[in-house]
Structure 1
Amino acid sequence: MVLFSLNQPISMICLVSIMAGRRALKAVLIDLSGTLHIEDTAVPGAQDALNRLRQASVDVKFVTNTTKESKRSLVERLQRLDFHVQEKEIFTSLSAARSLVERKQLRPLLLLEDSALEDFTGVMVLEGAPLIAIHKARYYKRADGLALGPGPFVAGLEFAADCRATVVGKPEKCFFTQALSDLGCSPTEAVMIGDDARDDVGGAQNAGMLGILVRTGKYREGDEDKIKPLPHLTCDSFPEAVAHILKNLL
């Protein structure tokens, strides 16, 4: 089995879709890169918004398709940006991949960034077998613009090897259900905030959650119209998403 991962170092008006009935919200899942921060710069007001959300009666979990950083590295980055985050609050595509490897008792050949390898400590190596992709994101936002994510390279490997990769990160339904599994709530009791219409919002809504799309990070004009159903909410930034949750969903 090969685990494949590659990343190259890409108004106040809110549009709200009509929702049927009022949900009892128990958890908020939050994307990291592009939503809370872009590389080493925080989204303006994101720290204060997160603090306000923590004071509400909801659980918070950070979910990310990272392929380059271990959870420890992510925590260190976020703490440098004044986000008060603990490692146990983070669920990554690497976490989902390790869970799959352990569940199926596989011995992977790990093709990962060195900074991500520590999340696979204790997993042994054996050449061969199926291809597992951490995720297939098309692009992401860096400080200097949009950059390709692993998706195009996974597609190339699939074509060359004449096989289909097993994808474990967003937008897979199992990723969201695993992220919620230790919070004691169902997808219908949770909302996802992210900058990727397909992977964050579309994936979450397909899993039964509400999805809030923010116009930061990789967001491009019109992204909200590219998924069905439409996002529950599209707004300018994470602080606006939090304000909506505190006013309308609790």
Structure 2
Amino acid sequence: MINAVLLDLAGVIYDGEEVVPGAAEAVARLRAAGLPIRFVSNTTRSSKPTILARLAKLGLSVPSAELFTPAEAACDWLRERGRTAHLLVHPDLVSEFQDLPANGGMAVVIGDAGDAFDYQSLNAAFRKLVDGAELLALAPNRTFKDADGKLSLDAGAFVAALEFAGQRQAIVLGKPAPGFFRSALATIPCAAAEAAMVGDDAETDVAGALNAGLGQALLVCTGKYREGDEARFAPAPSATVGDVSAAVDWILARRHGTE
């Protein structure tokens, strides 16, 4: 039985500056079927308002409460624990980290900083870790599909570098952290076993969702997908489908447990 759907954004709903063909209609079909939707994105180069505006421009009106981002999760974590943030994030994401504790213990927050990744910034973060700061990774993705259509390094390589040098394990706040999936489902609410995830990343989206206890996770062959991805990570996808439209076909055919 499928009672809720989690959707990735980049590579599933949009690809670069273009909507994936049929994506808006696919989302509308889920809504028409009465299935609650939550959008769970590991994008850490754009603020939440920017992402919502981008979706609106592509013809998708998404309420703020339906979109979950690692930056939001990080801010919640910092406030709950009274920690001060040392940011190693993209300049466009800095606005998300407002009104945080200023005098608590330190936590390094690392996302996809893009060109802001350089020796000076990485070494400054490393020194905070040496001084006892915790390490928060917004997302550990290995790659993303860049504007030129090719894969580029994502934040994961830089997270690994700081883990190695700082001799500490990062606390991951976005996908594939189980808590990220569960926090989205808790707002519906829906049991994890009755939810389906749709993503283009076999590791963070699909295996991450299944490890978090979701009943189904579908891999789409758009975005960063490369041939053979479905066999590279465990657990394997519940199904590998062409795109989000095909994923919605699959979900609606099985939502009542009839197939």
Normalising by the smaller structure, the TM-score range is 0.7 to 0.9
1:107 shift after superposition: 1.3
CA deviations 1:95-125 (Å, max 9, x no partner) are: 2211211222211112222321222221144
Q: Supply the AA of the counterpart residue of 1:53.
A: L
Partner of 1:219: 225
Deviations 1:140-189 (A, max 9, x none): 11231111100001111122222221111111111111111111111011
| RMSD of equivalent CA atoms | 1.4
Q: Deviations over 1:177-229 (max 9, x none)?
A: 11111111110111000000010000100111110000011111111112233
Give unpaired runs (5+ residues) of structure 1. 1-22
Q: Which runs of 5+ in 2 are unaligned?
A: 107-127
Quick one: percent identity of the two aligned structures?
41
Of residues 70, 87, 101, the one that matches 1:110 is 87
Q: Which amino acid aligns with 2:143?
A: Y
- Tell whether the 8 Å contact from 2:26 to 2:244 is kept in structure 1 after alignment: yes
Match of 2:179 among 174, 177, 185: 174
Residues matched between the structures, number = 227
Name the structure 2 match of 1:15: none
Tell me, yes or no, if the aligned pair for 1:197 and 1:223 is still in contact at 8 Å. yes
Scaled by the length of structure 1, the TM-score of the pair is: 0.87
3-state DSSP class of the match of 1:117? helix
Which residues in structure 2 correspond to 1:26-37 (within 5 Å)? Answer: 26-37=3-14
Which of 63, 68, 84 is equivalent to 2:61? Answer: 84
- Tell me by how many angstroms 1:78 deviates: 0.9
Higher RCO (CA 8 Å, separation ≥ 6 residues): 1
The one-letter code matched in structure 1 to 2:88 is: L
**Equivalent residue for 1:238?**
244
User: Which of 53, 56, 63 is residue 30 of structure 2 equivalent to?
Assistant: 53
TM-score, normalization: structure 2? 0.84
Amino acid at match of 1:115: D
In structure 2, what residue type is equivalent to 1:133?
Answer: A
SS in 2 for 1:108: strand
Residue 163 of structure 1 aligns with which residue?
A: 168
